[in-house]
Structure 1
Amino acid sequence: MATEQELAREAKAWPFEEARKLVARYGDKAPAKGYVLFETGYGPSGLPHIGTFGEVARTTMVRQAFQRLAPGVPTRLFAFSDDMDGLRKVPDNIPNREMVAQHLGKPLTKVPDPFGTHESFGHHNNARLRAFLDSYGFEYEFQSSTDWYTSGRFDHALLAVLRHYDEIMGVMLPTLGEERRATYSPFLPISPSTGRVLQVPMLEINPDAGTVVFEDEDGKKVETPVTGGHVKLQWKPDWGMRWFALGVDYEMAGKDLIPSVELAGKICRILGAQPPEGFNYELFLDDKGQKISKSKGNGLTMEEWLRYAPPESLALYMFQKPRAAKKLFFDVIPRAVDDYLTFVDKLKGEEPAKALENPAWHIHNGQVPAWATAADQLKTNLSFGILLNLAGAANAENADVMWGFISRYAPAATPANSPFLDRLVGYAVAYYQDRVKPTKVYRAPTDVERAALEELRAALAQWPADQLTNAEALQNEVYEIGKRHPFTELRAWFLTLYEVLLGQSTGPRMGSFIALYGVAETKALIDQALGDGIK
């Protein structure tokens, strides 16, 4: 029987395709530094967002795939914070904005924390990043740009940039406008008089001395070493320098950064190292197919997704088709949750080769989550879509209402012994209250629809007591009734049930819904629709 490593060599899932680039680079041996290094970057002028989650999740998936392909090679993942960048503008969503405005231009780790909880604004946002990554169980090592610059660990790389100054300028200048070219330098000195990060031309370059000369804000000429945190680099040269200094082997980036990746790669080669492997993922679109913009606010935030669905569903969304532009808006959430549940269910009995192609394998690093085994034992098998429709039919204000129905359908299940299901219940109530309830529109049935609903009502009134939760039998009954009435197509019958009974254009598998919601309760829904016409 083939080993997991042998199966991984043939696996087609994109994380394995990416990981094989590293195998081609190093084989089954570690590079000279002793490990393969994965990196993700973070700009701490703002809080972590959905893109941060996606980049770390996707990189983790590639790392896990590589660990199967080369199990004897150590790996590390650096979450690198560019916290020595100068603060360019005051964010809108922070307190004490006037205080922060007095420190514009200073490194983020030198700007006082407007929240008053940390050493600096950079330290505050770094702490938020670590808490954010920790909450999802990511395995990573946090790295601070300020620490690397000021500790001297970047010194050898910065001196290399100084030695190759003209070559790096030759790479950068053709990418800049005429006005920017006149003052550009890859080095950004820290002003000794104001502490700000300066974008000024270099008056002298002294590779032998390891210094540069520039004009400070007070008009004085200053000679400063490029080492020890006295300067930082413009972000594109900084990226290439970091790859060289750390020996980064893998880093992905958004499609919009392809030109920057190419420039950083050229600079990394100039310094004497091979750029990392990686790929460029596509950007997200809104519900109209337009590129998501922070300034427009036309996207879906991570906080919004996680109000309505578990992080595993977001990880699935990030896994699927990373090179394709995808719409990111509220309506994709329920499908993502149910797709995640389906993939986990398949993973439980899948043969090893197929398991490696299953997104749930990559989300859970090859392990079936404990909740899935518990759900098997309790035989709940409730989809998120069913829970959403239950919330709608019951007009659920809280989880207790939902559990009243669930307990009748699956008596062994409780919030205590089914914590993942309980989380889904909470998400379903929140999604229904915020996103579904305000848009519900019921309509009266046509004559054809009324006749079919009356037959369904009569069938439910006579339904055997020992078949009340038999979803398959209920589904067959609904199906047969629809076939006996002159609908243009059977889909029109199910659309009738959704629009007339549930007030929405899409809905669940009706047999499963009736089994969960209740035969008597569904009959009451039909009575209301037939009696009042429109609710």
Structure 2
Amino acid sequence: MYWADKLVDEIVESGKYQPFWVDDMKTPSGRVHIGSVRAVVTHELIYRVLQARGEKATFSYVLEDHDPMDSLPTYLDEKKYRKHLGKPLYKIPSPEPGFESYGQRWGQEYTEIFNSLGVHPKIIWGSELYLSGKMNALVRLCLDKAGKIRAIYKSLYGQDRPSNWYPFQVVCKNCGKLSTTSVTGWDGSKVTYTCQVDAVDWTKGCGHQGKVSPFDGHGKLPWKVEWPCKWKVIGVTIEGAGKDHMSDGGSHDFAKLMCKDVLDYPVPFAFSHEFFLIGGHKMSSSKGIGSSAKEISEIIPPYLIRFLITRVKYNRAINFDPGGMTIPDLFDDYDEAAKVYWQDPKRNLARIFELSRVSGKPPKEQFLPRFRDVARFMQHPEIDLDKKFAEVKDSALSKGEEETLKERIKYAKIWLTGYAPKEEVFIPSENISRKAKGLSEIQKQYLVVVAELLGQDWKTPEDLQIALYNLAKKMGLPSNRAFEAIYLALIGKTHGPRAAWFLLEHTEVARKRFGEISKK
């Protein structure tokens, strides 16, 4: 049985966790990294299975734009944004026009990427939960029960919080920072706070002291305290988290004690999902490290991203390196899953294919042009791809199959341009290869005349191909050495697509390159 079906069995058969409310959350601190996409797709799979079974369920995603900026992504203007470190994301200006805040800028990228993958959660903004007053009762409860929360820190971590420590941080009235403030008093209506100069090592507080109401967005609860409070205020009954949060003594253990000792709220159904690694490395959206989800969404289609996530059990790491033959192999695996679905829909691989769909039901059985063949054939200008794959299929392509071919041509171009191994690429190189610089004088002379031939108007590639052979014969240059010169000059290899078709496809590049080589 597929893992999402097993989890839903466990959830439904327990008789708990109703009404079913699946939730995930993330701080929109920068570009969306693919790990966040894995998390939201994993939650959406549970929601999708619940719905398919006829269960009434809700699916939400909290964009934590009330959180402070605690680091500067590498792509930000440091001079402009360093002064905003420590401030809530919803109060920081967007790096681009058209957005109300920094948090909204990146939050919108989250939702756009999610939607492209067929994930459409109800979006909840963290700032709105506070500013609207929805968190007020929980803020009051946590301040009133600060002693119990101190006791949780003591029991879990052995930390002695002083009697004047309160689980709340104020947005400083003077400098606007949140990360640097500490609350030392609570009189039932206002908190007393200090904006500490050296509270953290990545920004400075201003030293201001004051009293302010903790309600209506004037501050926020610390993350470990806040997480279970949001479960209660939203009504969450199902939420997993990364293994860092789910480890012994981690944020989830703290949240469970909060539910029991402070909130009187049942702990949602939980599961620990593993990381999504790029080339073996974990990514960070706040630091701008690793491939962003947007970048990956530009090199493979949405259903393939879903397939990449869906086929791996939630508690196993995914390691994706777009270089080499990874992408052609991924297309092969997807095509195999499609064939299994069409032939034996009860198998696990068929279920994976079904849940990889962005929307709607999977298509009826059809011919799928192999991605690596598309990439290879499209580099041969003499090959008509529609006709070629009709030959492979042994009948004309349907309209749907033609669309699939067009899509694969699009992604094959991207793969060939930036990710394919050198031996798979027959595209003119940016620079003259070392071997091309070592061509014999007669080969260089041959290229000079070929460049002149390319200035003529050729009715067919066949005519040019004959002219290339005749020129080599006239110059006393063996044809294999003549064509070797063409390929080495353009692609740095001794072989390639049929020369005339390739030259007519890249005429201007070829004429310029041949002229440069003749002068070496």
**Structure 2 residue 349 is matched with structure 1 residue 359:** no
Tell me which amino acid in the other structure corresponds to 1:361.
E
Q: 1:199 Cα deviation (Å)?
A: 3.8
Q: 1:61 Cα deviation (Å)?
A: 0.8
2:43 to 52, 56, 59: 59
Q: 1:189 Cα deviation (Å)?
A: 0.9
Cα separation, partners in 2 of 1:123 and 1:396, compared to 1, 3 Å = farther
Contact residue 15 and residue 65 of structure 1 kept, 8 A: yes
Q: 1:434 Cα deviation (Å)?
A: 2.4
Cα separation, partners in 2 of 1:44 and 1:184, compared to 1, 3 Å = farther
1:112 aligned partner: 93
Q: 1:390 Cα deviation (Å)?
A: 3.4
**Structure 2 residue 389 is matched with structure 1 residue 406:** yes
2:314 to 312, 317, 322: 322
User: 3-state SS of the aligned residue for 1:15?
Assistant: helix
2:282 aligned partner: 292
Tell me which amino acid in the other structure corresponds to 1:333.
I
Contact residue 79 and residue 143 of structure 1 kept, 8 A: yes
User: For 1:300-323, what per-residue CA distance to the aligned partner results, in whole angstroms no more than 9, with x for missing partners?
Assistant: 543443333222122122122221
Q: 1:201 Cα deviation (Å)?
A: 3.5
1:235 to 217, 223, 235: 223
User: 3-state SS of the aligned residue for 1:418?
Assistant: helix
Distance across 2 between alignment mates of 1:61 and 1:53: 12
Q: Where does structure 2 lack aligned partners over 5 or more consecutive residues?
A: 196-204, 427-491, 502-520
Equivalent pairs counted in the alignment come to 413
Alignment of structure 1 residues 188-267 onto 2, 5 Å: 188-206=169-187, 209-216=188-195, 219=207, 221-258=209-246, 259-267=250-258
Tell me which amino acid in the other structure corresponds to 2:338.
V
User: For 1:509-532, what per-residue CA distance to the aligned partner results, in whole angstroms no more than 9, with x for missing partners?
Assistant: xxxxxxxx99xx9xxxxxxxxxxx
1:382 aligned partner: 369
Tell me which amino acid in the other structure corresponds to 1:405.
K
1:338 to 316, 332, 345: 332
Distance across 2 between alignment mates of 1:395 and 1:173: 69
Tell me which amino acid in the other structure corresponds to 2:422.
P
Alignment of structure 1 residues 7-86 onto 2, 5 Å: 12-26=1-15, 31=18, 35-69=19-53, 71=54, 73-86=55-68
Contact residue 38 and residue 276 of structure 2 kept, 8 A: no
Contact residue 259 and residue 267 of structure 2 kept, 8 A: yes
User: 3-state SS of the aligned residue for 1:201?
Assistant: strand
Distance across 2 between alignment mates of 1:21 and 1:126: 32
More off after superposition, 104-113 vs 262-271: 262-271
Distance across 1 between alignment mates of 2:65 and 2:73: 15
Distance across 2 between alignment mates of 1:230 and 1:274: 28
Distance across 1 between alignment mates of 2:338 and 2:412: 19
Q: 1:420 Cα deviation (Å)?
A: 2.5
Contact residue 61 and residue 363 of structure 1 kept, 8 A: no
Tell me which amino acid in the other structure corresponds to 2:66.
M
Cα separation, partners in 2 of 1:181 and 1:334, compared to 1, 3 Å = farther
Distance across 1 between alignment mates of 2:264 and 2:12: 21
Cα separation, partners in 2 of 1:365 and 1:20, compared to 1, 3 Å = farther
Q: 1:200 Cα deviation (Å)?
A: 3.6
**Structure with the greater relative contact order (CA < 8 A, sep ≥ 6): 1 or 2?**
2
More off after superposition, 243-252 vs 305-314: 305-314
Q: 1:161 Cα deviation (Å)?
A: 1.3
Cα separation, partners in 2 of 1:225 and 1:428, compared to 1, 3 Å = same
Contact residue 100 and residue 114 of structure 1 kept, 8 A: no
Cα separation, partners in 2 of 1:365 and 1:112, compared to 1, 3 Å = closer
User: 3-state SS of the aligned residue for 1:214?
Assistant: strand
User: For 1:292-339, what per-residue CA distance to the aligned partner results, in whole angstroms no more than 9, with x for missing partners?
Assistant: 344998855434433332221221221222212332212433222222
RMSD: 3.6
Cα separation, partners in 2 of 1:349 and 1:111, compared to 1, 3 Å = same
User: For 1:212-256, what per-residue CA distance to the aligned partner results, in whole angstroms no more than 9, with x for missing partners?
Assistant: 222246655423222211120111111121112212111121112
Q: 1:409 Cα deviation (Å)?
A: 4.2
Q: Select the structure that is richer in helix.
A: 1
Structure 1 length normalisation: TM-score? 0.68
Q: 1:414 Cα deviation (Å)?
A: 7.2
User: 3-state SS of the aligned residue for 1:215?
Assistant: strand
Tell me which amino acid in the other structure corresponds to 2:185.
E
1:152 aligned partner: 133
Cα separation, partners in 2 of 1:191 and 1:441, compared to 1, 3 Å = closer
Contact residue 191 and residue 198 of structure 1 kept, 8 A: no
Contact residue 86 and residue 108 of structure 1 kept, 8 A: yes
Contact residue 368 and residue 401 of structure 2 kept, 8 A: no
Distance across 2 between alignment mates of 1:256 and 1:396: 51
Contact residue 69 and residue 86 of structure 2 kept, 8 A: yes
Distance across 1 between alignment mates of 2:362 and 2:232: 39
User: For 1:338-368, what per-residue CA distance to the aligned partner results, in whole angstroms no more than 9, with x for missing partners?
Assistant: 22222223223445x5479620122238954
Identity across the alignment (%): 21
Cα separation, partners in 2 of 1:150 and 1:173, compared to 1, 3 Å = farther
Cα separation, partners in 2 of 1:440 and 1:337, compared to 1, 3 Å = closer
Q: 1:210 Cα deviation (Å)?
A: 4.2
Cα separation, partners in 2 of 1:156 and 1:310, compared to 1, 3 Å = same
Cα separation, partners in 2 of 1:316 and 1:417, compared to 1, 3 Å = closer
User: 3-state SS of the aligned residue for 1:430?
Assistant: helix
Q: 1:13 Cα deviation (Å)?
A: 1.1
User: For 1:100-144, what per-residue CA distance to the aligned partner results, in whole angstroms no more than 9, with x for missing partners?
Assistant: 333222211111112122111112122222222222232211110
Tell me which amino acid in the other structure corresponds to 1:214.
Y
Q: 1:273 Cα deviation (Å)?
A: 0.5
Distance across 2 between alignment mates of 1:231 and 1:284: 33
Tell me which amino acid in the other structure corresponds to 2:210.
V
Distance across 1 between alignment mates of 2:161 and 2:27: 23
